[in-house]
Structures are given as C-alpha cells and as structure tokens.
Amino acid sequence: MKVGIDLIHFATSDYALGLDTFAEEKGTDVNKYHIGIGQEQMSIAPPDEDIVTLSAKAAAPIINQIDRNDITAVLFATESGVDQSKSAGAFLHGLLKLSNRCRVVEFKHACYAGTAALQMATTMVKANPKETILVIAADIAKYDVDSSGEATQGCGAVAMLVKAEPRILAIEPGSGYYTDDVMDFWRPNKRTTALVDGKYSTKVYLNSLKQAWEHFVEETGRHFEDFDAFCYHIPFSRMTEKAHKTLVKKVGAKLSSDTFREQTAPGQVYNRVVGNSYSASLFIGFCSFLDNAIQDLTGKRFGFFSYGSGCVAEFFSGIIQPGYQQHLMTESHRQQIESRQPLDYQQYLAFYHQTDSDVENITFPHNNKGPFRLAGIENHIRRYESGIQPA
Ligand code: CAA
C-alpha cells in the first residue's frame, strides 16, 4: 500500500515587505538580500493573522474537496504556538467544523516539526488505512528589529492531506535522522522573537545534512544518483544552494550547472518572496517545485531535507504519482502571492509591534483579507471569526 500526500495547499499573509524597501531603510546594498541571501520579499502577518488563521486558509481548499467528516486526526506542527496548553489544531478544528471523532495534537521542534507530523501521519495510515489525516505546518518567523535575522522573516502555512493511495506523493519507507543538543536558534517562553547565532546556525544545518544523509544511505541503500530532485528546508533561498553544494561534494558527484539548477531551482520560487515560514518552509518549497517545474515530474524521486535548529534533522524521500498535475492548486498559490499588498517600513513596524498580544483583552483592527481572522482576545480567550459555514 502506498501512503503519502494526497493533496497539498499553502497559504500566506495578505501583506509583504520588499527587501528593496528594507535595504533602503537600513542603508544596506540591496544585493546583500537579492543575491547574498537570495530573498526579494517577506510576507508579513497583520495582528489579526496568526498560525491558526493561516492554517485555516491553507486547509479550506482541501477540506472543500472531501467530506470533512473523513478527517480522523489533525497533526499541527509549529514553532509559533498560540497557547502553552491548548493545541493550535483545536482552534483550527473548530474553524473548519471537523468531526468530533478526530484527534488533534501539536508538534514542536523549531522548523523540523512538520516532518515529524508527516512521518507520524504516514505511520498511522500504514497501521490503519482508514485514517485520513490533516497535517499542518504553520509559522510566523519573527526576529528582533535590527538583528541579523530580521531580513529573513516571513510567514506561511501548509496543509497536507495524508492517506492511502495518495494522488501527489508516495512517501518511501526509511529515512535518515540526526539530533544534537546545540544552541543555534531558540525562543525562551514569553519571547515573541527568536534568538539566533546566525552564522553558527548555517554551519550546524550543513553538518546535520551530512549526518542525516549518511544515516539515510545506511538505512535505505539509496544513493544520490537515484534522485531527480531535492527540496531543502529554506530559511532563505541561498541556503538551498549551500545545502545542495554540500551534498554534491559529500557524495563526490559531478553535476553540470544546468543539472544542479534543475534539481533545486523550481523549489525556491515561492520562498524567495514569502520568506522563512519555519516548519512550513520545506513544504512551501515542495509546492513551489511542483508548480514551477517545466518537465513532467511523474515517477520522479524527490529527496527532502528537514532541519530544525536546536537541532533535529531528517532526510526522507518520495515518488511523484501519475496524474499529480490535476490535483495541484497552483493558481491559488500564485494568486495569493501576487495579490499581497506592499508595505512601507513604518507600516511593517506597526504590524510588528501590535502583534505582540500578551494581553488580557484586545480587539484587532480588520487588516486580514482572508476568510478567517483573529478578531481579538477577551479575558485571555482568543476569538476567531470565520466566513465558512457548517456543511
Ligand atoms: N552583494 C552580494 N552579496 C552580498 C552583499 C552584496 N552587496 N553583501 C553581503 N553579501 C553576501 C555575503 O557575502 C554572504 O554570503 P555568504 O553566505 O556566501 O558568505 C551573504 O550575503 C550574507 O551576508 P552576511 O553573512 O554578511 O549576512 P548577515 O551577517 O546579515 O547574516 C544570516 C546572514 C546569518 C543568514 C542572517 O540572516 C541570520 O541570522 N538569519 C537567521 C538564521 C538563519 O536563517 N539560519 C539558517 C540556518 S538555521 C535554520 O535553517 C533554521 C531556521 O529556519 C532559522
């Protein structure tokens, strides 16, 4: 039995800050961003957008294609949780009007947790083929103003329907993984922004890739030549180039620059303009590859490298299924990106500061243009609004 991703759709916010605007404000050469880190824009969430509203926007087009009562579990991965106790997935479950016969849980490890949720879902379906699982990876990447990470913010959510006989990607058994207790990026309780040792974090990322790859080869017996394409966790898109160069060097492959580009470039198109979305970023990269590859991907083997600072990493693989093209939601992805409203630096700062909502009572101005929004907080209870009616 094949198990994997049956449908996949991502959502991002309605606003973006151009790194040209950012560079002008900071007095920096814009090529540091456009070329040096490979980023052009970052999606910015207004105060009435959070991981719950983003994930509802990501999941709604999937739910609309199935019977929502078929969902047996929601596995919600995030670094930017909205409550220390209640899972963000429980809010999402309410907004999407899912069945009460459903389990919901939140997964956390920095940017890695989406892969943990996906692998858990795959295992659950293998154990019981009747399971139909909604896997969510959603994050708002936020660093201190004027810190090295500020240019690599962004936000996004990915929804993946995981089931038997999937229509898009069959996930293959076996993976390589690696954990090390390091401090390259972390966010103590009560902080809304991450702390990061930027240069060190890129070193740990690349070392984790080598370690996870070695384990993957030992576990599966597959080699670099068995792969057609690679999706990496993308904190900023130039990291993909650094990662793939590291892997190519490790395995001693001789690739032309055209092959190098074919194996990685389609996966970077969206992340260049969405920015980092932590746990969602690998899977937005996968959407980007599916939507932007020129050739037919049927039967192609993809390698996926997931990295979460702190650190946990995993390399796994999957095969693109026949007819996958009919199930992509390319138009929705492109339309969301293209219709974002550009912000100037002061507007970005206003959103940035208002979003710190560690308050008992607050009503948020209506900036979110999507069907789901965070209206406010009343007596510490988050109040969401939804345009979706019960089925
Ligand atoms: N034209 C062209 N290139 C330029 C340039 C110019 N005018 N000016 C600088 N550059 C190049 C630099 O040479 C450098 O290239 P290399 O990486 O090849 O050396 C690149 O632009 C970046 O310049 P700096 O190193 O000077 O930039 P920085 O000090 O501002 O830091 C960063 C870059 C460390 C990535 C920083 O953005 C950061 O801290 N980001 C957050 C942490 C992060 O994303 N880490 C990634 C790994 S951890 C992870 O993946 C988990 C996660 O999601 C956070």
Whole-Å CA distances, 361 to 48, 53, 90, 155, 382: 14, 19, 21, 25, 9
- Comparing CA positions, the residue from 26, 11, 110 lying closest to residue 348 is 26
- pTM higher than 0.85: yes
Mean pLDDT value across the chain: 96
Give the residue extent of every domain in the chain: 3-386
276 labeled part of a ligand binding site: yes
Does the beta carbon of 235 sit less than 6 angstroms from any atom of ligand 1? yes
What is the best residue among 139, 202, 237 to mutate for testing ligand 1's pocket, by most ligand atoms within 8 Å of CB? 202
Fold entry, domain 3-386: Peroxisomal Thiolase; Chain A, domain 1 (3.40.47)
Whole-Å CA distances, 306 to 133, 156, 160, 166, 342: 20, 16, 16, 21, 30
- Percentage above 90 pLDDT, the chain: 96
Contact 25, 344 (CB under 8 A): no
Residue type at 198 in one-letter notation: G
Q: pLDDT tens across 125-178, in order? A: 999 999 999 999 999 999 999 999 999 999 999 999 999 999 999 999 999 999
Instruction: Tell me the average pLDDT across 234-245.
Output: 98
What is the best residue among 32, 78, 108, 284 to mutate for testing ligand 1's pocket, by most ligand atoms within 8 Å of CB? 32
